[in-house]
Structure 1
Amino acid sequence: MKLAKLLKPEAVRVIGSMSSKKRLFHELGEIAQSVHGLPHDPVVEALMERENLGPTGVGQGVALPHARLGELDQVKGVFLKIERPMDFRAVDRQPVDLVFCLFAPENSGVDHLKALAVVSRTLRDSDLCAKLRANDDVAALHAMLTELPDMRAA
């Protein structure tokens, strides 16, 4: 699975700061609504419900919030670079500045897991993360994320 299938160029954003996870989820909901046509409130609610199950801050400044939604027919993504890292209660207790959010159909099963695995593997690459952090151009960020070789999910 390639990230280019999940991530539209207009779903990549650079933002200055975020005051809280709740505010971040609202921002993700606004982007999901404008780019993917998803309803804002159910998106925010689904992200918050998933986060209550356990933190999606996976460490090294990366968070992978995700949610399943009935309105979708395929997995969609949103990527945010936050210029001033925020507290996300990540597993390593480090602030987060790279957020790749996935939205999957309610019954996506394996596709959702494959997408999550590809995104996770991609953002475990410390060289790539350093390049993402060093760049504020959304077109360049999109290219860095989507022009990678095919990363096979386990």
Structure 2
Amino acid sequence: MELSSILAPEAVKVIASASSKKRLFQDISDVAQSAYGLDAQTTLEALLERESLGPTGVGHGVALPHARLEDLDQVTGVFVILEKPLDFGAVDRQPVDVAFALFAPEQAGVEHLKALALVSRTLREASVCTKLRANLDAATLYTILTEGQSVQAA
């Protein structure tokens, strides 16, 4: 599995600022709607429901929100970078400025876990996050994410 198989170029956005975690999830849901045709309200509710189980901020300014959706046939993702970091309740209490949201079909077991592991491995690389944070162009961010993953696999 490669990031390019779950992340469409139009699902990569730079967000100037989000006033709250809920607002960030709304922005992510809007991107998912425009990139994949997912219902924004359903997506937002699924993200909020999953987040209520525990924060998805994994540390070092990175969050991996994720949810399962009924009307989805494959794992998809939305990547956003925030110009202004947001308090996210992350495990290390650091504000989040990099978020990669994953959406999986209700019945996707292994594929969802593989995608989550791939995104986690990619964003754990300090050099990848440094490059992402240094660029605020969506096309460049997509290239960094998809090329960085290919180099890591080599």
Give the secondary-structure state (helix, strand or coil) at the position aligned to 1:8.
Answer: strand
**Where does residue 103 of structure 1 map in the other structure?**
103
- Report how far residue 149 of structure 1 moved: 1.9
- Report how far residue 151 of structure 1 moved: 6.0
For the pair 1:55 / 2:55, whether they are aligned, the reply is: yes
Alignment of 1:5-154 (within 5 A): 5-147=5-147, 148-149=149-150
Give the secondary-structure state (helix, strand or coil) at the position aligned to 1:142.
Answer: helix
2:32 and 2:14 mapped to 1: Cα distance? Answer: 15
Q: Residue 106 of structure 1 aligns to which amino acid in structure 2?
A: E
Give the secondary-structure state (helix, strand or coil) at the position aligned to 1:47.
Answer: helix
**Contact (CA 8 Å) 1:2, 1:151: kept in 2 or not?**
no
**Contact (CA 8 Å) 1:2, 1:150: kept in 2 or not?**
no
Q: Structure 2 length normalisation: TM-score?
A: 0.96
Shift in alpha-carbon separation, 1:151–1:38, aligned structure 2, 3 A: farther
Q: Structure 1 length normalisation: TM-score?
A: 0.96
State the identity %. Answer: 62
- Post-superposition CA distance 1:42-91 (Å, at most 9, x none): 10000000001111000000000000001110000000000010000100
User: In angstroms, what is the RMSD of aligned CA positions?
Assistant: 1.1
Q: Residue 57 of structure 2 aligns to which amino acid in structure 1?
A: G
1:52 and 1:43 mapped to 2: Cα distance? Answer: 14
- Report how far residue 150 of structure 1 moved: 7.0
2:82 and 2:6 mapped to 1: Cα distance? Answer: 20
**Contact (CA 8 Å) 1:62, 1:96: kept in 2 or not?**
yes
1:38 and 1:149 mapped to 2: Cα distance? Answer: 28
Give the secondary-structure state (helix, strand or coil) at the position aligned to 1:9.
Answer: strand
Q: Which runs of 5+ in 2 are unaligned?
A: none
Q: Which runs of 5+ in 1 are unaligned?
A: none
